Amino acid sequence: MRSNASTATSSGDAAASPRAFSPCEGRPPHSLESTAEWNHGSLSISELAHRCQVSTRSLRYYEEQGLLIPSRNAVGHRRYQAKDAHCVGVIQRLYGAGLPSDLIRTVVQEWKLPDSAPRIEALLRTRHAELSQEAEELHSKLTGLEAVLNVVTDNS
């Protein structure tokens, strides 16, 4: 896991403890870095969806699941910051890796806590081991199926 070390605490102490890298903080994805909207405020749900190449429904789903919490303007419309675009990218990668919503929620929540990298790493390594086991089982099934296919094609 990558971590950023703080250079000072709020009291000015230069020996601050390291803070875990947050998937929902920092710079937006590369394609958004030069976008003027990021430098002058926030984006609407449709603007964020367009720039992150996801549907507005996906963004609402992430909100319903507690994965992405936008701010609201005076009339209640969702407003997103650059850190939210970065968070969407991380959420998409975790979904793409087959993680269920509850585990993604845990990862996103853990990232907000101090010294979370070891806990997040353990969660992700556990899921990695599970997926590796599933891949081995699928490979075994494919090998068996190929053996039967060879018998069938040899006898035709």
DSSP one-letter string for 42-82: -B-HHHHHHHHT--HHHHHHHHHTTS---EE-TTS-EEB-H
pLDDT at 71: 92
Tokens of 71: 């701010």
What pLDDT is stored for residue 149 in this prediction?
A: 96
Mean pLDDT of all residues in 98-113: 88
pLDDT in tens, 77-103: 999 998 888 889 989 999 998 899 899
- pLDDT tier for residue 40 given thresholds of 50, 70 and 90: low
Length of the chain: 156
- Res 101: pLDDT: 87
Least confident of 23-27, 121-125, 127-131: 23-27
**pLDDT for residue 108:** 87
Q: How high does pLDDT run on average in the chain?
A: 79
**Mean pLDDT value across residues 31-36:** 45
Measured between alpha carbons, how far is 28 from 84 in angstroms, rounded to an integer? 8
Domains and CATH numbers, the chain: 20-154 (1.10.1660.10)
Q: What is the DSSP letter of 29?
A: P
Q: Which residues contact 86 (CB under 8 A, 6 or more apart)?
A: 23, 24, 25, 26, 27, 28, 29
Closest-CA residue to 93 (of 64, 136, 52, 35):
52
Q: What is the mean pLDDT of residues 18-40?
A: 45
Which stretches within the chain are classed as H helix? 36-39, 45-52, 56-64, 82-96, 101-111, 117-154
